[in-house]
Amino acid sequence: MPKAFSAEEKAAIHAALAKVGLRHFQRLGIRAARIEDICREVGVGKGSFYAFHDSKEALFMAIVAEREALHRTDIFAYLDRAEPGRVAAGFFDLVLAKIEADPVLNIVLNGGELAYLMRKLGPRQVALSLADDRAFAAEAVRRWPLAAAAAPISADDLLGFMTLTLTLATQRHLMAPELYASTTALLRELQVARLEGAR
């Protein structure tokens, strides 16, 4: 039976599991990472791990949630200070930069890890994740600064463009650099035209 931890110990262990877990997931992938190895490095027993997470996939999704919260905070901050009529290009650039640089996303995209994770999470968790993405898109639309003559944008459009950007960035390794650059520029141009009112 795991020992009882103080609130400070729980916070420290939670943070350590996320930090060490991310390193293990980066090095080995989700499937090959082992709870025992993560616990050994953190300095807790395997039983204590389950007081924090139901599985290594749950730990990974907790890391994902923390990363998404940071990204969304940055995106909302951008929208809150953006100038009406000039939002879409900067939004695209910010989202693309986050996708290209995020270490968690790179874990999911390597070697079939996404298919594995989807199977492990199951349809209910996948549906909850999609609902969360839709709620984020709706909040982004609510914060989107509109020029006086601009038509309101759609959360579906915004989510669609973010999905296209993600899809393009995840296929970057299959494309010549100049093709990736030109395709990215085209998608950016389409997003700006659609979201800034040239419908």
Judged against a pLDDT cut of 90, whether residue 112 lies above it is answered with no
Between CA 46 and CA 63 the distance in angstroms is 19
Please tell me whether residues 30 and 123 are part of one structural domain: no
CATH number at residue 49: 1.10.10
pTM of the predicted structure, to 2 decimals: 0.84
Identify the weakest region by mean pLDDT among 6-20, 102-116, 121-135.
102-116
Residues in the chain: 199
Q: How do residues 135-178 score in pLDDT, each as one tens digit?
A: 999 999 999 998 765 778 899 999 999 999 988 988 888 899 99
Please tell me whether residues 94 and 144 are part of one structural domain: yes
DSSP structural state of residue 43: T
What's the domain range around 101?
Answer: 56-195
Judged against a pLDDT cut of 70, whether residue 1 lies above it is answered with no
Question: How many domains does the chain fold into?
Answer: 2
Residues 6+ apart with CB under 8 A from 116: 30, 31
Please tell me whether residues 129 and 188 are part of one structural domain: yes
Please tell me whether residues 60 and 134 are part of one structural domain: yes
Joined tokens for residue 50? 């389950």
Please tell me whether residues 34 and 132 are part of one structural domain: no
Please tell me whether residues 22 and 40 are part of one structural domain: yes
The last residue of one of the domains, among 53, 71, 88, is: 53
DSSP alpha helices (H): ranges in 50-172? Answer: 56-81, 87-101, 103-109, 113-143, 155-170
Cα 99 to Cα 121, 142, 145, distances in angstroms? 22, 23, 23
Say which amino acid occupies 60: F
Please tell me whether residues 1 and 75 are part of one structural domain: no
